[in-house]
Amino acid sequence: MFSENHKNFGCIEVICGSMFSGKTEELIRRLRRARFANQKIAIFKPSIDDRYSVMQVVSHDSHKIDSIPVSKASQMLEIGDDVQVVGIDEAQFFDDSLVEVCQTLADRGVRVIVAGLDTDYMGVPFGPIPRLMAVAEDVQKVHAICVKCGRLANFSHRLSSDKSLVLLGEKDVYEPLCRECFNKAAGKE
């Protein structure tokens, strides 16, 4: 049992990788373990991500956990003083202010667990994830399996010709590919 003088030690953990790599699954697993340990948690997701649910973070395998949709990262700073763990899904959809929000929360003694794509459909670093990786105490890169050759997949190849940076979709719009298969699909070879 912790004494009343016990101070929470904040940190930032980043779970990143391609689509279908298990990022959200790992986020949910860590948050459930924190809840099992009787820690007070708050879970956020960008309000634009309503693919499976408006009010829940949902993995591709249909595991889910209640969340709070927010339109901007600064809304996460409104949590109560009793919150010990903050989870953030689809972090690539927030702007760079997410980095400062996560650092502020960690400085307050909150464990911040962030999940998101590290690269976009063109293989370019995506949103605030690279900066979060730089300031995080822990980074876990997870991988999908390449649907073409079976190797570890690091890229989210878009099947659609839509050039929008943000295009919500599932297996009908994206497929995980290894570097070699991604370069072939992108016409780089």
CA torsion angle 69 73 78 82 (round to 10): 80
Helices (H), 85-158: 97-107, 129-135
Could you list the active site residues? 90
**Gap between the Cα atoms of 183 and 22, Å rounded:** 23
Beta-bridge partner residues of 68: 44
| Greatest extent of the chain over all pairs of C-alpha atoms, in Å | 61
**Gap between the Cα atoms of 160 and 31, Å rounded:** 33
